[in-house]
Amino acid sequence: MKTRLAALLLAAAPALAQYEEAITVSRVLIDVRVTQSNGEAIADLTPADFDVTIGGKPVTVASAMFVEDDAAPPNTSSDKIPYVDASGQAIESPGRLFVVFIQTDFTRHYTRTKGQMKFRRYAEELVRSLAAEDRVAVFSFDSHLKFRCDFTTDKDAVADAIEKSVLIDQPPPPPRGSGPSLVPRLQPSALRRATTAEKALKLIGEALLPIDGAKTLFLIGWGLGHRTRAGTMTVMDFQWPAAFKALEAARVTIYSLDTTEADSHDLQGGLKNAAETTGGYYASTWHLPQAVVDRLRRTISSGHYELELLAPAQLGAGTHLVDVSVRRRGNIKILFPQMAILED
């Protein structure tokens, strides 16, 4: 099974630049989910089970470590904001970080509004199924971005914010949550200027960047991108590359949950692209919303692999295509969350 990721690789500078014969490699760390079609993880793979190429060139898989997702990784980055509570005390087990981003159609088109209202209770069920120590923040978007709930472990507060996301209102700034907070980095004026979903996602990615660790974003909505003037295809908005760059830097994985009540529509391709390029997947909630929630719950709770790759520095800085395949038959899904670059 093979999938692809367009990844930004930063080549390491030669350790001994004066010796042209010196061979330098970059150690590239990527997070990969390998699941069955129902979302259950395949947890018994070894480095020999993975075939990886970067820029079309085979690279060595030095290690493949399976990490349980219900165990929060230690906060070890020196340039990120540590997890602290409102009093400034360090939090030893902060849990995972989730963002709920809900598109509310400003025009109130019935296929979009009805689908959103129908899915609200399933979204609330999803967040209530998260671990007690997991923190969730909630945003909605209609004419501009609206910040409804800061990171919190209070799932009742999260459910209330999701319930109110259908409103075309102007909510006040939410109270600062315990632990990592987005309140200091999201000014009301910046929220008002985020007048497209892509601008809104960029702003969220930038706000998340200083906070250590991986994040998961549930994009619950009706579409991204736009139809070309000729009307022959749907393309991503020109603002999406900047949004993707911000989300990638913040280690955000998007799972797109399409609430439009239609078997297919023009803007679903944008939702698919946003999910797949950040390492998640797309699902329509119209016919089987419970099955969608069940699969997603299994996926985010079942663990992932950390693959350490040895890539030649001769690739040079720039964008290179990463291919990952698994030597196993069956209906296997390979998902890339984000990757970090470690230089030797």
Clarify whether residues 216 and 190 are in a common domain.
yes
**Does residue 80 form part of some domain?**
no
**Does residue 218 form part of some domain?**
yes
> What is the reported pLDDT for 226?
85
- Bridge partners, 282 (sequence order): 256
Under 8 Å between Cβ of 282 and 275: yes
Clarify whether residues 281 and 138 are in a common domain.
yes
Instruction: State the SS3 of the chain.
Output: CEEEEEEEECCCCCCCCCCCCCCCEEEEEEEEEEEECCCCECCCCCHHHEEEEECCEEEEEEEEEEECCCCCCCCCCCCCECCECCCCCECCCCCCEEEEEEECCCCCCHHHHHHHHHHHHHHHHHHHCCCCCCEEEEEEECCCEEEEEEEECCHHHHHHHHHHCCCCCCCCCCCCCCCCCCHHHCCHHHHHHCCCHHHHHHHHHHHHCCECCCEEEEEEECCCCEECCCCCCEECCCCHHHHHHHHHHCCEEEEEEECCCCCCCCCHHHHHHHHHHHCCCEEECCCCHHHHHHHHHHHHHCCEEEEEEEEEHHHCCEEEEEEEEECCCCCEEEECCCEEEEEC
Clarify whether residues 286 and 335 are in a common domain.
no
**Does residue 78 form part of some domain?**
no
Domain count within the chain? 2
Under 8 Å between Cβ of 116 and 220: yes
**Does residue 194 form part of some domain?**
yes
pLDDT classification of 9: cutoffs 50, 70, 90? very low
> CATH number of the domain that 136 lies in?
3.40.50.410
**Does residue 79 form part of some domain?**
no
Q: In the chain, pLDDT over 90 holds for what percent of residues? A: 56
pLDDT digits (tens, 9 = 90+) for 210-239: 998 889 999 999 999 987 776 667 789 999
Clarify whether residues 159 and 205 are in a common domain.
yes
pLDDT classification of 288: cutoffs 50, 70, 90? very high
> What is the reported pLDDT for 53?
86
Q: In the chain, pLDDT over 70 holds for what percent of residues? A: 80
> What is the reported pLDDT for 70?
64
pLDDT digits (tens, 9 = 90+) for 28-54: 878 888 988 888 889 999 999 999 988
Closest residue by Cα to residue 101 from 135, 154, 140: 140
Clarify whether residues 253 and 205 are in a common domain.
yes
> CATH number of the domain that 336 lies in?
2.60.120
**Does residue 219 form part of some domain?**
yes
Mean pLDDT check: name the lowest of 15-29, 174-188, 192-206, 266-280. Answer: 15-29
Structure tokens that stand for 217 in this block:
């974003």
Clarify whether residues 182 and 257 are in a common domain.
yes
Select, from the ranges 90-94, 154-158, 230-234, 299-303, the one with the highest average predicted confidence (pLDDT).
154-158
The residue with greater pLDDT, 232 or 150, is: 150
Clarify whether residues 307 and 247 are in a common domain.
no
Clarify whether residues 314 and 200 are in a common domain.
no
> What is the reported pLDDT for 313?
64
Clarify whether residues 277 and 146 are in a common domain.
yes
Mean pLDDT check: name the lowest of 38-42, 129-133, 150-154. Answer: 38-42
> What is the reported pLDDT for 204?
98
> What is the reported pLDDT for 273?
92
Range of the domain at 158: 97-301
**Does residue 205 form part of some domain?**
yes
Clarify whether residues 173 and 114 are in a common domain.
yes
Mutual angle of helices 240-249 and 268-278, in 10-degree steps: 30
Clarify whether residues 275 and 290 are in a common domain.
yes
Q: How many residues does the chain have?
A: 344
